[in-house]
Each structure stands twice: as C-alpha cells, then as structure tokens.
Amino acid sequence: MEVIARIRNDFPTKFGLPRQSGLAPSLLSRIVFEPKYRNPDALRGIEGFSHLWIVWQFSGFAGKPWSPMVRPPRLGGNERVGVFATRSPHRPNPLGLSCVRLDKVDFDPVFGPVLLVSGADMCDGTPIYDIKPYLPGVDSHPEATDGFVGSHPQRLLDVVIPGDIETVLREVLDPAQMRTLAEILAQDPRPAFHDDPEREYGISYAGLDIHFKVRGSTLSLIRKTPLRMAVLNLTPDSFWEPSRYNMAVLSSGADIVDIGAVSSRPGADPVSEEEEWARLEPVLRSLPEGLRISIDTVRSSIVRRAHELVGHFIVNDISAGEDDSAMLSTVAELGLGYIAMHKRGTPQTMDSLTDYPEGVVGAVLDYFEAFSQKAAEAGVKDWILDPGFGFAKTESQSLELLRHLGEFKRFGKSVLAGIADKRFTAGRTPLLEDLALLCGADILRIHI
C-alpha cells in the first residue's frame, strides 16, 4: 500500500492523544496529501459529507511483532483479551480506523487540496492509506453492543488550571486549542495502571511542555521544575546591577552558579585575558565544596586555567566556539560540559545585526543544525542549547523565539533560557519564565 496523505496537528507524539476518535472534538487537524495524490478531482463531491473514515498506520509499530493477546487501557491494563476484540496497535497489520468530522475542504498554494478535520486520534505525521465517506444510513448501528467497553465506562477527570498557568497558556494558545487541551486532559492521558498522586506527568501539545498531577478524580496542571542557574557577575558594568559581585549567590541553593568576568551587555568594552582571569581566579579558589558551576567565557585559555584550578565545570560560551577556534577541541579534550549560544557580532555591533530575512526562528534553528555537526566533529557530545535571547535580536524577535522554543528540542539537548531581566522582558520576567518552561526550557538562567 502507498501512503496517500499525512495528518498534521498539534500532537508531536502519541502520549496524551485521545484513545479514540471523537473523544476530543475540538482537536483540529489537517490532512495533507502526498504530491502524487494532490489532484483536486480526487476530492470532487467530498464536501457533501460531514464525516469521513480514515485508514491509517500506527507508524510506531510498523515492523514489530504482533500480539494475539493485549491489555486494553479500558480494563485497567491488567486483564487480557484478544487483539481482534480491541483497537490495539499490536496487530498483524498495524492499521487504525477513525471517523473524523470534515470541517472544510481548503486549497493551499503549496500543498494543494487540504482537508480540515476535527476529532482525530492521530499524532502529527501519521501516514494515511485511504479516505472514505461515512454513511450514517449504513455505518450507524444504534442497536450494536459494545462488549467489555460498555461495562467499563470512561471516567472523565475534573481539570484544574491554576490562574497563573492559564495566563501563560493564553499567551500562546487560541480558544480552540485551550478547549482541546481541556478535553485531552479530562480523558486522563496516564497509563491505565498508574495511580500515584505525587507522580508528575508531561505531554507535548502545540509546542508546549504541559505538566500535571492527578489526585483522585482531579487533574491539576503544575509548573515544570527546571534547573536554576544563578548568575554571579564579576564585572563592574554588567546589565543587571544587583548581580555584580553578589557573592550570596554561591550559597543560594541554585543548581548551577554561572560565573562571568566579562560583560556581554550591548556596548560593553572588551576585557583582556589577564583582566578576566584576575577577576575569576580568587573566586574560583574560594568556591564552596561540591558547588556546581559554569564559567561564562569565550576563551579556551581561560577554560584551561580554570580546569587546572577547579576540575570539572560547564563552559558557558556565548559565541558557540566562533570567537576562539580552539574552544570546542579544548572542551572535548578536557571532557567538560558546554553551553552553546546563538549571537551575532560583538557587544558593540550586535544591536545592528537583527535582520533575519527568512525569520529569526529558522535562522537560529539553521545555526544550531550547523553547530551540532561542528560539535560532533570536534568530539563535544554533552552540550546545552541557548537561543541567545536579546543577543542580536529585537524585543519581538526574542518573544517569537521564546514562543517557538519547543522546536529546538529536535536536537535532543537540554534548552537553556536566559531571559531574566533582559531589556525585552519589560518587567515581565516571571511570566516569561513560566512561558519558557511551558515552551520546553529545561534550565532557567536567573538573577538572585
């Protein structure tokens, strides 16, 4: 069989998807045809039908052995029944059959005819093999029995979204997406055999990293717990004045303390290597035992001197190796962690380098695509991605990057968001930090 189309929607993975079509009627999807099948004639007359049958593949199960007995979630994941008595993906031919509502037949200048549907139970990119009209006079059987399903009705949860989280969600989700999220969560996305009220779960939806707990019949959204990187600036001219020589940071309880001796604020003057080391050395010699640190530097020579003094640490390089050609090989040789940040130019020039003809998100994604190859060639495997908010980016560009932070998870690396008290936050640091966490940030660079 040939794939004729693919589903496109806000669910990149299957976890959190409704277990059957129609359970989340607000979930909107697009059916985009493969180039070979973008013939409008093939859809002539389809607009007269309100619902469609979709034949699709459980793509994650292709090529895997089938199982004659399965454990349906509806039975709590404990009782076995025959696979042909279920809609389990563990079938000889891993095909799914779903009924969706046809909302509109659209025409895209790039993708040709596109079907806009609602109520699907497929994740983004699912391959589709066939589409047929649903005929209520033939396909509907009100007298049908529903086997074990009827004796084990679906339990819907009460969904609680705290006000602060709802405020952040409404920054990025439209009303239809908010309804869909509530419908999805009410279905209880957890594995059927899970019932730990303290366990934290997460689903990916619309580019967001949604975390929740379930206690009894109530599902509550919670704030994701990130690693906290507190800033200690050993400079007289850093942008955030309270961070200058704030030695209390060393005992603040932060997961990581980021120590920098050269200001990178717009317009900052260059500092010599000897001056940078003169600022760093006394602090490095007096670090509390067991403190996890990163050192904010673009110089491989500073990295070597610091390593001789304190051993392992994380290199926080705002130039991603571009300001020192020996940086990546040095990090690989010493086996250090590494943070690669996107920027353009120098502190003196970066504010004039904010033109991204193809869009800032695509440009930064391309940058890290190239960097990941460069890091692999240099032997740097353990690296963290920092999109560089505020560095050669306008306020609107930084906010756009923030809302698309989830796209950077494609590199399989932890994502750091350094947005605390930047110019573009305009006093909204707590709100934007919560937004960063929802959009996929794993580490927050903060000021204490």
Tens digits of residue pLDDT in 316-341 = 999 999 999 999 999 999 999 999 99
Lookup: tokens for 446: 């903060």
Could you give the 3-state DSSP secondary structure of residue 404?
Answer: coil
Q: Which residues contact 193 (CB under 8 A, 6 or more apart)?
A: 76, 77, 78
Q: What are residue 132's DSSP bridge partners?
A: 53
C-beta separation of 186 from 203 below 8 A? no
Q: Give how far the C-alpha of residue 33 lies from the chain's centroid of Cα atoms, to the nearest Å.
A: 26
pLDDT digits (tens, 9 = 90+) for 422-434: 777 767 888 889 9
Question: Tokens 């079509």 identify what position?
Answer: 21
The DSSP annotation for 286-352 comes to TPPTT--EEEE-S-HHHHHHHHHHH---EEEETTTTSS-TTHHHHHHHHT-EEEEE---S-TTTGGG
Q: Which residues contact 338 (CB under 8 A, 6 or more apart)?
A: 314, 315, 317, 328, 331, 375, 380, 382, 383, 384
Ramachandran bin of 329, using left for φ above 0, alpha for ψ from -120 to 50, beta for the remaining angles: alpha
Q: How many CA atoms lie within 13 A of 311 on its CB side?
A: 5
* Integer Cα distance of 28 and 8 in angstroms: 9
* Integer Cα distance of 207 and 226 in angstroms: 17
* Integer Cα distance of 339 and 297 in angstroms: 10
**pLDDT tens over the chain, length 448 residues:** 899 999 999 999 888 889 899 999 999 999 999 999 999 999 999 999 999 999 999 977 878 899 999 998 888 778 899 999 999 999 999 999 999 999 999 999 999 999 999 999 999 999 999 999 999 999 999 999 999 887 777 789 999 999 999 999 998 999 999 999 999 999 999 887 788 999 999 999 998 999 999 999 999 999 988 999 999 989 876 555 555 667 888 888 899 999 999 988 777 888 999 999 999 999 999 999 899 999 999 999 999 999 999 999 999 999 999 999 999 999 999 999 999 999 999 988 999 999 999 999 999 999 999 999 999 999 999 899 999 999 999 999 999 999 999 999 999 999 999 987 677 776 788 888 999 999 999 999 988 7
Q: Which helix (H) or strand (E) holds 396?
A: helix 395-403
Domain spanning 149-223: which CATH class is it, in words? Answer: alpha beta
Question: Tokens 């529903």 identify what position?
Answer: 146
Q: Does domain 227-446 have CATH number 3.40.50.300?
A: no
Burial letters 180-202, b for 16+ CB under 10 A, else e: bbebbbbbbbbeeeeeeeeeebe
| Among candidate residues 253, 299, 244, the one with its CA nearest the CA of residue 421 | 244
* Integer Cα distance of 376 and 105 in angstroms: 45
Same fold, 1-58+94-144 and 227-446: no
Q: Are strands 112-118 and 5-8 parallel, antiparallel or unpaired?
A: unpaired
Lookup: tokens for 447: 């000021």
Question: Tokens 């009894």 identify what position?
Answer: 216
> How many helices (H) and strands (E) would you count in the chain?
10, 20
C-beta separation of 101 from 25 below 8 A? yes
C-beta separation of 117 from 100 below 8 A? yes
Question: Domain ranges in the chain?
Answer: 1-58+94-144, 149-223, 227-446
The amino acid at 254:
A
47-52: long-range contacts (C-beta < 8 A, 24 or more apart)? 47/102, 47/105, 49/102, 49/133, 49/134, 50/101, 50/102, 50/134, 51/99, 51/100, 51/101, 51/102, 51/133, 51/134, 51/136, 52/99, 52/100, 52/102, 52/115, 52/117, 52/131, 52/132, 52/133, 52/134
* Integer Cα distance of 343 and 8 in angstroms: 32
Q: What is the DSSP letter of 244?
A: B
Phi and psi of 303, rounded to 5°? Answer: -60, -45
Rounded to 10 degrees, the C-alpha dihedral 69/74/77/78 comes to -80
Domain spanning 1-58+94-144: which CATH class is it, in words? Answer: mainly beta
